[in-house]
Amino acid sequence: MQKINLKKYFSNNELYLIAGVFAFVLSVLVFTFFSPNYFDSDEPVELVIPRGATLNEVVDSLYSKGVIKGKFSIKAAAFIYGADKKIKAGKYKIPNGLSYLDLIELFINGSPVEQVKITIPEGIWLKDLASLLKRELGVDSAKVMELSKSRSFLSSLGLGDEVESLQGYLLPETYYFYPDSDAETVLRKLKSEMDSVFDNPEIQKRMKELGMNKHEILTLASIIDAESNDFSEFKTISGVYHNRLKRGMLLQADPTVQFLIRHRRNKKVYYKDLEIESEYNTYKHPGLPPGPINNPGKDAIMAALYPEKHNFYYFVADGNGGHKFASTQREHEQNVLEYRRWRRSQNN
């Protein structure tokens, strides 16, 4: 390769000037990208990068937390690395003194704290939810129960005095949480997701048409969710309860009695349980119980809002995982006899 004789084109003074400019630019680049960047904290700063977050959003978060003094330099460093599409989502603990290039390296090649996937089943009781969160996430189950009934915590979530606990207000769904999430963080997330279901203007309009508020819809939805494991039956079951409510009939819903005996034994209901004196006993008190008996899922909520229109007032298990519906007491009694015969055949 032929050498270029710079002295042929530049004088000694010009060469010194070029070298000086080059050295200055190099020193600025080194200072900008490689020098330690300190923030006003002895502890690492925690930064959560959501899935799909853009480079600008990450830079804005770093700036708002005081990790960086300005935005241009780190954007330039990210451009050098081509980092815009390589940043990993997750939770990071950023130590003090990282350079801008070190920061970009951390977000590209680092090991963020991975989130834990948790699926909360529909119709789950609050006590079972607390146990699930303890088992899957290590959340203090006692704290979950305490917060769920704390008047100050309920008020902070915008819940009025008619709400005695978070039972019914926590949406069953699949979630991702960080392993160090505490009870308050988890409960606020579940409550927020339930709120989002009712924030829809169409849902609010529908509640007005029914003459029911959110608390009443969640209460009815919780009963529907507990009645069947077959989502396709939900709207039919909802229609039965809406029909009974309109006629002022007792709901006679076994799940409300199961709720009363949940701390004593399994869900099997005996005739003596139907005599328990409680406003939650829908065999003794007309209308809806005071509040939800579990945490209903979206299918049950939609069923409570949009019941199937029919003339059914009764239903009983059919022995195959579903139910038989009836319009009259006589027809219902026949269905009950058939169900009892089926049970005897199974026992034999």
In the chain, what are the domains? Answer: 6-109 (no CATH), 116-198 (3.30.1490), 209-310 (no CATH)
Under DSSP, is residue 159 helix (H, G, I), strand (E, B) or coil?
coil
How confident is the model at residue 305, as a pLDDT? 98
Cα(202)–Cα(214) distance, rounded to whole angstroms? 13
| pLDDT band at residue 55 using 50, 70 and 90 as cut-offs | confident
Higher pLDDT, 280 or 17: 280
Beta bridge partners of 100: none
What is residue 348's predicted lDDT score, i.e. its pLDDT?
67
Tokens of 343: 């049970």
DSSP 8-state assignment for residue 114 = P
- Which pLDDT tens digit goes with each residue over 135-154? 999 999 999 999 999 999 99
Yes or no: say if 68 and 35 are a contact pair by the CB < 8 Å rule: no
Q: What is the DSSP string of 238-292?
A: HHHHHHHHHHT-----HHHHHHHTTTTS-S---GGGGG--STT-TTTS-S--SS-
Q: What does the mean pLDDT of the chain come to?
A: 86
- How far is Cα 47 from Cα 83, in angstroms, rounded to an integer? 17
Q: How far apart are the first and last CA of the chain?
A: 98
Look up residue 166 and give its DSSP letter. Answer: S
- Is 70 exceeded by the pLDDT of residue 5? no
pLDDT mean over 93-120: 80
Who wins on pLDDT, 54 or 165?
A: 165
- Which range has the worst mean pLDDT, 28-42, 58-72, 115-129? 28-42
Count of other CB atoms within 10 angstroms of residue 248: 8
pLDDT at 184: 95
Please report the pLDDT score of residue 147 as a whole number.
Answer: 97
- Structure tokens given for 168: 């019914």
Of the candidate ranges 40-54, 189-203, 309-323, the one whose mean pLDDT is the lowest: 40-54
- Average pLDDT (279-286) is 96
Nearest CA to 174 among 90, 53, 300, 297?
Answer: 297
pLDDT tens per residue across span 150-186:
999 999 999 988 899 999 999 999 998 888 889 999 9
